[in-house]
Homo-oligomer: A and B are copies of this chain.
Amino acid sequence: MTISVSSKPILDVLAGRRQTVPPVWLMRQAGRYLPEYRKLREQAGSFLDLCLTPAMAAEVTLQPVRRFGFDGAILFSDILVVPYALGQEVTFTVGEGPQLSPLIGSGELAGLKPRIDLSLLAPVFETIALVRAQLPAATTLLGFCGAPWTVATYMVAGRGTSDQMPARLMAYRDPQAFGRLIDLLVDASVDYLAEQCKAGVDAVQIFDTWAGVLPPAEFSRWCIEPTRRIVEALRRRIPAAKVIGFPRGAATNVPRYVDEVAVDAVGLDWMVEHVYAREHIQSRRPVQGNLDPQVLVAGGAALDRAVDAVLAAFADGPFIFNLGHGILPDTPIAHVERMLARVRDVQH
């Protein structure tokens, strides 16, 4: 057993050092399940306004850290600020999810800027600086972006769809045009993540929420390869940049992702089999995850068993405790507290 003393346990895990008590944060930990978030949300205008108003976005980012003492704070934002900063119309309608002017049928990449306009995202970098100034020294500040494939699926369809079929169809029918969109997103992601690092984040996560809908060859082309290019280009600009990759649902394709993309850790969804994940993923790279967000809603004995199963599977190695996807809006606060107590009380 390696015992390491560090000011930031999450960064220690990203460096490959197992922690006696695994550090914890939750995807979407700043959000609707928190009464203090819902109160502030009422005072904000649109969701995009909230993301792009530094004082409010910083406050929302800090809320769950204050309440639960999480080991990580993740910037409150959305993966669709990148299409916004590329000139695509993006709106968030309450209860309906995001809506974009779909690229399909409007001519390939028509109306998009040739490069991301970071001045439109200046409030994000200001938010990072504000959070940084208020964050406890042991808390890791995480930035993020969506992976090109996942962002492209929304840009093409204009919304979330079942299995993201419009983007899959475009990728098959016109791989050249789709490739140009992916290339644009690779460059935009590098610019955006590098600026987040300069503004003060300790690490970034690349969310590939829709990685799981692609067959192996398409996964290589549209998930692995663009993400590999982002990580390499980011490290050329910010050599110390730390990156967590999260190819959700990629399952049997994850080992290839880990072999080819130089991420510091990989996020696991809640469906992956534990022995497989230990032997084929955690053996190669630190892992983060993977409690079923739905069992955190359910609570009770089912929650305890599920927390124990995740710890039994992964806590013997370099490991960050998290959910297998974002926390659900109807999650009771008491269940988050119960989960945290259980993770932090375990004896390894």
A302 touches B252 (CB 8 A): no
Query: Bound state CA distance, A173 and B213, in angstroms?
Result: 29
Interface flag for A175 (CB, 8 Å): yes
- Identify which of A30-38, A48-56, A292-300 touches chain B: A292-300
Write the chain B residue with the least CB distance to A217.
B309
Contacts of A271 in B (CB 8 A): 212-216, 219, 249, 251-253
Interface presence of A137 (CB below 8 A): no
Contact B252 A273 (CB under 8 A): yes
Complex: how many Å from CA A298 to CA B302?
Answer: 44
Minimum Cβ distance to chain B for residue A177 (Å):
13
* Chain A: interface residue total (CB-CB under 8 A): 40
**Cβ–Cβ contact B215 & A173, under 8 A:** no
Known pairs A252-B272, A256-B273; A169 contacts B298 (CB<8 A): yes
18 A-B pairs in the complex with CB atoms less than 8 angstroms apart: A165-B328, A168-B292, A169-B294, A173-B298, A173-B302, A212-B271, A214-B271, A215-B271, A215-B292, A215-B309, A216-B271, A217-B305, A217-B306, A219-B271, A249-B271, A251-B272, A252-B273, A253-B273
Alpha-carbon gap, A251 to B252, bound state (A): 6
A172 to B216, CA, bound (A): 32
A172-B297, A173-B298, A215-B295 are known; give 17 further A-B pairs, CB within 8 A: A169-B297, A172-B298, A172-B300, A172-B303, A173-B300, A173-B302, A212-B249, A215-B271, A216-B274, A217-B305, A217-B306, A219-B271, A251-B252, A251-B273, A252-B273, A252-B276, A256-B273
Q: Which residues A188-219 have CB closer than 8 A to chain B?
A: 212-219
Chain B residue contacts of A297, Cβ below 8 A: 169, 172
Residues of B within 8 A of A274 (CB): 216
Q: Could you say which residues of chain B place their CB within 8 Å of the CB of A212?
A: 249, 271
A217-257 contact mask (Cβ, 8 Å, vs B): 1 or 0: 11100000000000000000000000000000101110010
Quick check: is A270 within 8 A (CB to CB) of the other chain? yes
